[in-house]
Amino acid sequence: MFIKKNDTVEVKIYFKQKDYKFLALTGEEIQARIKDKKLTEEQANEEYSILTVQMKVLSWGDYNDFQSSAQQTAANGDRYFDYRVYKEDRLKKLTRAWDAVDQEGKPVPVNEQTVTSLAPSIGDAIVKGYDELCFYDEEKEKK
């Protein structure tokens, strides 16, 4: 019920790359493809690289801070929710560690610059994978 300051959750992203194109899938998406027999476990391990990301567990205070920072004001004074700011802030501020390495095999540090330089599909998959692990959707709630 109470989130401790250093609680983390492990998010696994399966990805493959061709030139500058990336296909990134969450753990649940890979498991769904395996269940639907579109992919075997062996194929998943052969065809995809895995990025493991340690992310801070979201507390009520964090949640409200992200919601607040995403509230923007347009030039005409109207307030609106900027989903891009919300997703980007969550990715930058919740990511604690990962096993990403550069082309020379050296660990890539987690910081604002490296997080914001991720390929869009990788960043989206991390956020989606995090949400799959940390939030109930309607389908999960029915089970």
User: pLDDT for 16-57, tens place per residue?
Assistant: 999 989 999 999 999 999 999 999 999 999 999 999 999 999
Does pLDDT of 137 surpass 80?
A: no
Report if residue 105 sits inside a domain.
yes
Report if residue 139 sits inside a domain.
no
* CB neighbour class for 132 (10 Å; exposed up to 12, middle 13-18, buried from 19): middle
The residue-averaged pLDDT of 97-125 equals 96
Range of the domain at 53: 8-131
Decide the pairing of beta strands 21-26 and 49-56. unpaired
Does pLDDT of 109 surpass 80?
A: yes
Report if residue 96 sits inside a domain.
yes
The pLDDT assigned to 11 comes to: 97
Task: Tally the domains of the chain.
Answer: 1
Report if residue 136 sits inside a domain.
no
Helix, strand, or coil (residue 25): strand
Report if residue 140 sits inside a domain.
no
The upper half-sphere exposure of residue 119, i.e. CA atoms within 13 Å in the direction of its Cβ, equals 17
The residue-averaged pLDDT of 3-9 equals 90
Closest CA to 94 of 136, 121, 70, 123: 123
What residues contact 67, with CB distance under 8 A and at least 6 apart?
A: 81, 86
Contact status, residue 8 vs residue 54, Cβ threshold 8 Å: yes
Does pLDDT of 138 surpass 70?
A: no
pLDDT per residue over 47-89, tens digit each?
999 999 999 999 999 999 999 999 999 999 999 999 999 999 9
The pLDDT assigned to 114 comes to: 97
Report if residue 122 sits inside a domain.
yes
